[in-house]
Structure 1
Amino acid sequence: MQIAKLLENLEYELVAGSLNTEITTLVYDSRKVEKGSVFVCISGTVRDAHDFIPDVVEKGAAAVIVEKDVTVPDGVTVVKVADSRLALACMSAAYFDYPSKKLKTIGITGTKGKTTTTYMVKSILESAGIKTGLIGTIETIIGDEHIPSANTTPESYVVQDYFHRMVEAGMDAVVMEVSSQALMLHRVSGFAFDIGVFTNLEPDHIGENEHKDFADYMHCKSLLFRQCRLGIFNGDSEHLQGILEGHTCEVQTFGYQKENDLRAEHVELKKEHGALGVRYHVSGLMNFDVEVNVPGSFSVYNSLTAIAICNHFGVSVDKIKEALFHVSVKGRIEIVPVTRRYTLMIDYAHNAMSLESLLTTLKEYEPGRLVCLFGCGGNRAKSRRYEMGEVSSKLADLTVVTSDNPRNEDPMAIIEDILVGVHKADGKYVTIPDRKEAIAYCMKNAQDGDIIVLAGKGHEDYQEIKGVKHHMDERELIADIIKENPDLKL
């Protein structure tokens, strides 16, 4: 492949060499350079890849893509671009022969709901015979292959690689989570989504290495709707107009309000035999009753989002209803069936905002008691510990403080920080550092009608201690506890 092919959708300046240069691989990690590679220099927060040019040239790189003036030996092609991240995205699409054109692409952005909604969409589409890949916070799914994720949205080269592999595996569509960071860093540039989706927006990811303020966060989210054909929006969001700013797509809305194109009406909370969920009527563009075995008003929004998307694939009402009734997402309000006496669930809530939203939702189900078990990660802001402790103490009837990922900190020191927040409210609490023992305590002391939430780990199946990830899956811990105490299933 000649480098000219990779640059066909880019503005650039040829500084040295020839556009007819044959290249073997497209690389942005200097360690993966081989003879004939084209190396894209990304200016990172830790290291500037332009510093590695002498190393990659020595390894045999045939070309380098740069943002700065550089010096290279004769025979090496140098192409200068305004933004090397955008260049990587466009070049990756070309390198894999534009796989997005062979798939129906769905991108979902928003502060909350992305993960659950992607699984709902995949479940509905596949029930209708539409083979669907998934890229998200938990994993990437390509057919039967499950690849654990490091980021909500991977680097642009990886996105295009996954698309290519999905095409090769016979996928018809892909649904993916699109983070604000991904939009800001051009991880999903170089192609247009068929459908872009906005779930909701709350202050998050604002800080030194993320977004400078809420306005910047919202602006980055809005970028998705300048590169999709159809935009599906939460019409109830107070930030809808900010997200719509600069959009170039067709617009459809969903939500509770009557102005929306697709609406949820007559919402009921469902609480039966240790299971929680919602029922509601869909009106507007579609007209039917739906039942979802995931609790809370956000479950209404997530499922309504999925319905709005799948309506554009011509999926039958019966298929939509069946898929939503059976859908379950690992670590996202995941109910673990143990007994009909109480409800036990696992959720990823790992900051004060998500924990407050979760506990507030569960209180609507009027549990006998609301029991919240959680810990906090080490080597992270102490403020999160105080805030989570206070939220749980304020909203839960019993807080069980335990260990999460202590990393390089003393687990008891983390627990003491959490208790600072717990003491700001008047909820009852116990501290049990060992997570399995803490879960067993909750199960052994459960009362009829309780809702017990194991918060913070969610889909994670490890505990990180002093740089080592030890296998620990809360589902397995629950199974072990029941095996050791068979009467807990009664």
Structure 2
Amino acid sequence: MKLTTLLEKIDYKAFEGNTGNEADISNVEIKSVVNNSKKIEEGCFFMCIKGANFDGHSVAAQAAEQKAAAILVQDDVTLPEDCKMPVIRVEDTRYAMAFVSAAWFGNPAQSLKTIGITGTKGKTTTTYLIKSMLENAGHKVGLIGTIEVVIGDKHIPAKNTTPESYDLQEYMRQMVDEGCDSLVMEVSSQALMQHRSQGFVYDLGIFTNIEPDHIGPDEHKDFDDYMHCKGLLFKQCKVGIANADDEHMEQVLEGHTCKLETFGFSDKADIKAVNLAYIRKPGQLGVFFDTEGLIELHAEVRTPGKFSVYNALCAIAVARHFGCTDEEIAEALKNAKVKGRIEMVKVSDDFTLMIDYAHNAMALKSLLSTLKDYRPNRLVCLFGCGGNRSKLRRYEMGEVSGKLADLTIITSDNPRFEEPLDIIHDIEIGMKKTDGKYVEIPDRKEAIAYAIDNAQKGDIIILAGKGHEDYQEIKGVKYPMDERDLIADIMKERM
């Protein structure tokens, strides 16, 4: 491919090596596009990206020596004196990489209806709801998110919620080649900040909700920055669909360039939920509700609480743009399941057992508060905390569970390079600020067995923190451990 074709949609200046002279790049052919120094090869276009631990600009000379056809830079680089390799200078190589990657893979987004979902909570569940709904209506849908990338029958474990722009474009190319007509994906604030999802315009952009999160030295400097980055999606989509009930909605959407629709319980919402009723059956929790406004239907969702309604409303709003019928939408909502997100595991008609990824105080508080609305005999919360992470999270989660759960079972999560008992004792500090009852069982299988063996009629038991994860990380090694398998093993042992 011609270098000029790759650069069509970005502003740049082309120089000849270190000379400062303008380079003629009209006939430069590119054999590959790379951003990994280990993949530099003759004829490639090497994009110098500044990462947290490595700056691609530092290997510009290596690229020249290995006969790269050209390099992409935003900073000055050191090259051999006689180097004539074209140096493409841009303001931001990450931003440029998104457009170069899109061009390299033939702009696959143009062949897909693209849906991007951003927000603090609900992104993962909503992507699967939308995928289920659209497939119910005959669409072939690719998915990119926290758990995995789904392309046809292929499931690829995810490294990041939103992949690097080059990988994203490659995935989209594969989806088009596989016959997908749509893509639904999670778009993280980090990805928006780093331009990972640039290079195309989303057909639909979704805002679920926002609360302070991902604020720190390597993430966002403050809540305002976090909201600003979330809002970037609404300058990169044709239609925005937002949660009308979120108090920060207007701030997040400030400066948007898209058409707007809203959902929620508020009278001002374009799609409004009414007649909410909770469902409680043996081993199952859920909600009924009706919608008014842009679409009117009756819905049943087999996960509990008000936040399940928000996720469903969001999916309904999207399905409307695809012409899905009321029957297709209702059927998809009733049957959609997401691994590790309020995932019911049936073991008894006497009590309810579920798995959820809630791994910080905010998520745990939201989940436990919702479950209390179902008036369980007891609310039992089993969780641990990850090692080599903030101790504050441990104190906070201990305090939340102590206040809201009738019994807390403190166990191990991913201890990493810490001792499990040290982490458990940190959680206990938070627990002791409350009057909550608790037990400590470091082995997670034993802890789950204790929860099942001591369950009472009408209990709701939540296994929190691991969710979709199928491993436990100890001393740098990831050992297989899936809570569904642990439960199955425990039940076999009880037979």
Q: TM-score, normalised by structure 2?
A: 0.97
Aligned to 2:131: 122
Tell me how far 1:22 sits from its aligned partner. 1.1
Q: State the partner residue of 1:204.
A: 213
1:59: how far off?
2.9
Are 1:146 and 2:123 matched, yes or no?
A: no
Pairwise CA distance, 1:62: 1.6
Per the alignment, residue 41 of structure 1 pairs with 48
> In structure 2, what is the Cα distance between the partners aligned to 1:445 and 1:57?
67
Matches of 2:302 and 2:372 in 1, distance apart? 17
**2:37 maps to 1:30:** yes
3-state SS in 2 of match to 1:197: strand
Q: Where does residue 349 of structure 1 map in the other structure? A: 358
Q: What is the rounded CA distance, in whole Å, between the counterparts of 1:63 and 1:287 in structure 2?
A: 56
CA–CA separation in structure 2 for the residues paired with 1:92 and 1:69: 23
Is the contact between residue 243 and residue 262 of structure 2 (CA under 8 Å) also seen in structure 1?
yes
Q: Following the alignment from structure 1 to structure 2, what is the Cα–Cα distance between the partners of residues 435 and 391?
A: 20
SS in 2 for 1:454: strand
1:92 is displaced (CA, Å) by 0.4
* Alignment partner of 1:224 out of 233, 246, 253: 233
Deviation at 1:298, TM superposition (A): 0.3
SS in 2 for 1:265: strand
1:465 aligned partner = 474
Code of the aligned partner of 2:55: D
Question: Could you tell me how far apart the structure 1 residues matched to 2:9 and 2:220 are?
Answer: 28
Deviations 1:422-467 (A, max 9, x none): 1110111000000000000000000000000000000000000000
CA displacement at 1:46 relative to structure 2: 1.6
Instruction: Provide the C-alpha distance between the structure 1 equivalents of 2:335 and 2:348, rounded to a whole number of angstroms.
Output: 19
Choose 58-67 or 88-97, whichever is displaced more: 58-67
SS of the counterpart of 1:189?
coil
What's the counterpart of residue 249 of structure 1? 258
State the alpha-carbon separation in 1 of the partners of residues 252 and 426 from structure 2. Answer: 37
Tell me the distance in 2 between the aligned counterparts of 1:363 and 1:163: 42
Q: Look up the match of 1:398.
A: 407
Alpha-carbon distance, 1:23 to partner = 1.2
- Partner amino acid, structure 2, of 1:273: P
Other-structure match for 1:11: 11
For 1:18 and 1:342, how far apart are their aligned partners in 2?
73
Cα distance in 1, alignment partners of residues 49 and 321 from structure 2? 38
Equivalences for residues 277-288 of structure 1 within 5 A: 277-288=286-297
Question: Counterpart amino acid of 1:364?
Answer: D
Alignment of 1:12-411 (within 5 A): 12-16=12-16, 17-19=23-25, 20-73=27-80, 74-411=83-420
TM-score of the pair, normalised by structure 1: 0.98
The whole-number CA distance in structure 1 between the counterparts of 2:412 and 2:164 is 32
Aligned Cα RMSD in Å? 0.8
- Give the distance between the partners of 1:420 and 1:83, measured in 2 at CA: 46
Query: CA shift at 1:48, angstroms?
Result: 1.4
Q: Which amino acid aligns with 2:14?
A: L
User: Deviation digits for residues 150-203 of structure 1, max 9, x if unmatched?
Assistant: 111000001100110000000010000000111000001110000001010100
Greater shift in the superposed pair: 33-42 or 180-189: 33-42
d(CA) in 2 for partners of 1:105, 1:3: 27
**Structure 1 residue ranges, 4+ long, deviating more than 6 angstroms after superposition:** none
- In the alignment, the residues of structure 1 paired with residue 408 and residue 463 of structure 2 have an alpha-carbon distance, to the nearest angstrom, of 10
Offset at residue 3 of structure 1 (A): 0.9
Retained in 1: the 8 A contact 2:58–2:77? no
8 Å CA contact 2:6–2:100 kept in 1: the answer is: yes
Is 117-126 or 258-267 further displaced after alignment?
Answer: 258-267
* SS of residue paired to 2:456: coil
Distance 2:75 2:216 in 1: 27
480, 484, 490: which one aligns with 1:481? 490
Number of equivalences: 486
Counterpart residue identity of residue 65, structure 2: E
SS of the residue 1:141 aligns to? strand
Name the residue aligned to 2:462.
Answer: 453
Match of 2:445 among 436, 441, 446: 436
1:427 aligns with 2:436: yes
Deviation of the 1:148 alpha carbon: 0.4
Query: Distance in 1 between the 2:219 and 2:102 partners?
Result: 26
Unaligned runs of 5+ in 2: 17-22
What's the offset of the Cα at 1:244? 1.8
Q: What is the rounded CA distance, in whole Å, between the counterparts of 1:244 and 1:378 in structure 2?
A: 36
Could you tell me which amino acid in structure 1 is paired with residue 299 of structure 2?
V
| Counterpart secondary structure, 1:257 | coil
1:44: Cα distance to partner? Answer: 1.6
Q: Report the alpha carbon displacement of residue 37 of structure 1 after superposing the two structures with TM.
A: 1.1
How big is the shift at 1:362? 0.4
How high is the sequence identity, in percent, across the aligned residues? 60
Q: Which moved more, 1:178-187 or 1:234-243?
A: 234-243
Shift of 1:75: 3.4
Counterparts of 1:59 and 1:454 in 2: how far apart (Å)? 52
Deviates further, 154-163 or 59-68: 59-68
Distance 1:69 1:254 in 2: 48
**Separation in 2 of the partners of 1:389 and 1:57?**
55
